[in-house]
Amino acid sequence: MTPFLSALLTLLAIIAAYFGLRRMMGFSAQRPADYAALSPRFDVRQHLSGPIECEGVIYGPMGRVTSRFVATMHGTWDGNRGVLREHFSYDSGENQNREWRLTIGNDGKLRAEADDVVGGGTGEVSGPTVYLNYDIKLPASAGGHVLAVQDWMYLTQNGTIINRSQFRKFGFKVAELVATLRPARIAEPAE
């Protein structure tokens, strides 16, 4: 075996080990069944309904915060079909409006569509979690890349939702989002 072929095989083995370990451990290894017996139960029609406040950060590929945001959301449901409208305000001064169109099956399976999601997303509600898997097309101002997204929402005992999403290109993590979502506070009347 030539030194070049030996080095190539070694490199391929390292890459295979990386993807194999990533699949068995860490964020990507989670499955909805891991959370099925836990509580509180995440009811998307209840917990993603009405006015919602959100704040979060986006980490770049080196783990540093690249963007901060606050958002207001509003969810409405008609049976098993819902719409979650989102308005994001980023620390750069940029604003973004998005709309998720969600369908939940009686078996907990979830279908999600948005204008920047390629081919729709699929997921599942399980125990205190919601999992979504989809491809998102970034705006042209951000390069127009299509990224694979693993999106998890975890319901806490007080009703706050912790959202963690990882964005990958060619299998490598290029960004991560962490955000909180909770029912919007109702302003107290002035005395």
Tell me, yes or no, whether 24 and 94 share the same domain. no
Please write the tens of the pLDDT for every residue from 73-132.
999 999 999 999 999 999 999 999 999 999 999 999 999 999 999 999 999 999 999 999
Within a domain: residue 190? no
Secondary structure (3-state) at 61: coil
Q: What is the pTM of this model?
A: 0.83
Which helix (H) or strand (E) segment is 19 a member of? helix 3-24
Tell me, yes or no, whether 23 and 42 share the same domain. no
Give CA separation, 51 vs 74, 80, 162, 186, in Å.
Answer: 4, 19, 16, 9
Tell me, yes or no, whether 26 and 58 share the same domain. no
Tell me, yes or no, whether 95 and 130 share the same domain. yes
Find the CATH number of the domain harbouring 88.
Answer: 2.40.128.20
Cα–Cα dist 89/61, whole Å: 22
Of 78, 136, 146, 87, the closest CA to residue 112 belongs to 136
Tell me, yes or no, whether 25 and 77 share the same domain. no
Tell me, yes or no, whether 8 and 80 share the same domain. no
Q: Is the peptide bond before 51 cis (omega within 30 degrees of 0)?
A: no
Cα–Cα dist 28/87, whole Å: 28
Tell me, yes or no, whether 104 and 168 share the same domain. yes
Phi, psi of 6 (to 5 degrees): -60, -45
Structural domain of 10: 1-30
Tell me, yes or no, whether 38 and 52 share the same domain. yes
Tell me, yes or no, whether 26 and 88 share the same domain. no
How many structural domains compose the chain?
Answer: 2
CB 23: neighbour CB atoms within 10 A? Answer: 10
Cα–Cα dist 52/49, whole Å: 8
Contacts of 113-116 with CB under 8 Å at 24 or more apart are: none
Please write the tens of the pLDDT for every residue from 119-157.
999 999 999 999 999 999 998 888 889 999 999 999 999
Tell me, yes or no, whether 126 and 72 share the same domain. yes
